[in-house]
């Protein structure tokens, strides 16, 4: 099998590393594609190549995914995949531009340096090629979690957009604190801040643009800041009830039967 990876950045290379097949890379920056080919084996090809491949994996930034699928889906003979982070738009674009091909959308729920981990999967039109590629990811210790485009994108409003907003807001509002005066909760938030701010700001900006969720965090923070003691107690209990409901839901969800 041969696979073209469109977008030879960190996530494209993460996908390619798991594949035991002939690889080709293309990227808006040819030097990036050439470096990936040298590092992982395979060839670098031009964005406008007329070559075709058994499978094409789209690993571009979120704002570029629909255009990349439109441009490169025709280069796939059997399967098209994406791992860009959203799912509704890529799944729709793949169905439009590769209606007769196998189609799977992937979202690794971690950065490459934290691999392996959970990988969200929408198998819109699975088949033998995508089954083999998913098996290769599983063989690297990843857990495949089947979902739907709507379920995934709604979850990312909280898991990514909301969480990132809360962490960055803490970082922007925090004062310097002497070592001996820190609490475990503060240290936990500081660790999360270091993790988030140590990444690629463009990726986080793309996530904020793609998913709602930040407004809810801002509204809640405003309500807490303005609350008198009685209202604060009500909001505190509401937060506790919401957290308990979330934990209980997770404990009783059925196991993935895939």
Beta strand pairing call for 118-125 and 143-146: parallel
* Same domain assignment for residues 172 and 219: yes
Domain span at 9: 2-147
CA quadruple 189, 190, 195, 196: dihedral sign: positive
Would you state the pLDDT for residue 179? 87
* Same domain assignment for residues 169 and 123: no
CA quadruple 90, 95, 96, 101: dihedral sign: positive
pLDDT (tens place) for every residue of the chain, 258 residues total: 999 999 999 999 999 999 999 999 999 999 999 999 999 999 999 999 999 999 999 999 999 999 999 999 999 999 999 999 999 999 999 999 999 999 999 999 998 988 999 999 999 999 999 999 999 999 999 999 999 999 999 999 999 999 999 999 999 999 999 989 999 999 999 999 999 999 899 999 999 999 999 999 999 999 999 999 999 999 999 999 998 887 776 554 433 333
* Same domain assignment for residues 129 and 164: no
The residue out of 117, 147, 177 marking a domain boundary is: 147
Are the CB atoms for 43 and 66 separated by under 8 Å? Answer: no
* Same domain assignment for residues 163 and 236: yes
* Same domain assignment for residues 104 and 61: yes
Would you state the pLDDT for residue 254? 38
The CATH number given to whatever domain includes residue 57 is 3.40.50.720
Would you state the pLDDT for residue 246? 77
Output the CA–CA distances (angstroms, integers) from residue 51 to 24, 43, 103, 201, in the order listed: 10, 12, 19, 34
* Same domain assignment for residues 16 and 44: yes
Q: Is residue 15 a part of any domain in this protein?
A: yes
Instruction: Report how far residue 41's alpha carbon sits from residue 56's, in angstroms, rounded to the nearest whole number.
Output: 17
Q: Is residue 141 a part of any domain in this protein?
A: yes
* Same domain assignment for residues 242 and 215: yes
Q: Is residue 257 a part of any domain in this protein?
A: no
Q: 124: Cβ–Cβ under 8 A, 6 or more apart, which residues?
A: 91, 94, 95, 103, 104, 105
What would you report as the CA-atom Rg of the chain, rounded to the nearest whole angstrom?
A: 21
Number of domains in the chain: 2
* Same domain assignment for residues 51 and 108: yes
* Same domain assignment for residues 166 and 227: yes
* Same domain assignment for residues 75 and 25: yes
| Full 3-state SS string of 65-79 | HHHHHHHHHHHEEEE
User: Among 15, 26, 126, 22, which Cα is nearest to 78's?
Assistant: 126
* Same domain assignment for residues 207 and 244: yes
Q: Is residue 37 a part of any domain in this protein?
A: yes
Q: Is residue 226 a part of any domain in this protein?
A: yes
Would you state the pLDDT for residue 250? 55
* Same domain assignment for residues 133 and 177: no
User: Among 148, 67, 142, which Cα is nearest to 105's?
Assistant: 148
Q: Is residue 258 a part of any domain in this protein?
A: no
Q: Is residue 237 a part of any domain in this protein?
A: yes
Instruction: Report how far residue 46's alpha carbon sits from residue 10's, in angstroms, rounded to the nearest whole number.
Output: 19
Q: Is residue 88 a part of any domain in this protein?
A: yes
At 6, list the tokens: 């469109």
Are the CB atoms for 8 and 35 separated by under 8 Å? Answer: yes
The residue out of 147, 182, 200 marking a domain boundary is: 147
The pTM for the full model equals 0.89
Are the CB atoms for 122 and 147 separated by under 8 Å? Answer: yes
The residue out of 112, 147, 182 marking a domain boundary is: 147
Q: How many CB atoms lie within 10 A of CB 96?
A: 12
- Return the exposure string of 32-68: e unless at least 16 CB atoms fall within 10 Å of the residue's CB, then b: bbebbbeebebbbbeeeeeeebbbbbbbbbbebbbeb
């Amino acid at each position: 099998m041969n696979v073209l990876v469109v977008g030879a950045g960190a996530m494209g290379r993460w996908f390619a590393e798991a594949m035991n097949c002939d690889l080709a890379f293309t990227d808006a920056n040819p030097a990036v594609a050439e470096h990936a080919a040298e590092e992982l084996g395979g060839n670098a090809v031009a964005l406008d190549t007329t070559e075709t491949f058994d499978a094409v994996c789209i690993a571009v930034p979120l704002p570029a995914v629909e255009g990349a699928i439109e441009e490169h889906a025709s280069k796939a003979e059997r399967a098209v995949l994406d791992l860009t982070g959203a799912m509704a738009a890529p799944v729709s674009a793949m169905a439009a531009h590769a209606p007769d091909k196998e189609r799977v959308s992937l979202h690794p729920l971690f950065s490459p340096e934290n691999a392996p981990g959970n990988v969200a999967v929408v198998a819109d039109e699975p088949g033998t090629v995508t089954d083999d590629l998913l098996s290769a990811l599983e063989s690297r210790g990843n857990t495949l979690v089947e979902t739907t485009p709507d379920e995934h994108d709604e979850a990312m409003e909280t898991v990514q957009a909301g969480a990132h907003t809360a962490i960055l807001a803490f970082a922007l509002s925090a004062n310097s604190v002497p070592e001996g005066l820190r609490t475990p909760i503060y240290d936990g938030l500081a660790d999360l801040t270091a993790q988030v701010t140590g990444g690629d700001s463009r990726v986080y900006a793309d996530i904020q643009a793609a998913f709602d969720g930040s407004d809810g965090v801002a509204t809640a923070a405003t309500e807490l800041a303005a609350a008198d003691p009685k209202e604060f107690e009500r909001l505190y209990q509401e937060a506790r009830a919401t957290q308990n409901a979330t934990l209980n839901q997770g404990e009783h969800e059925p196991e993935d039967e895939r």
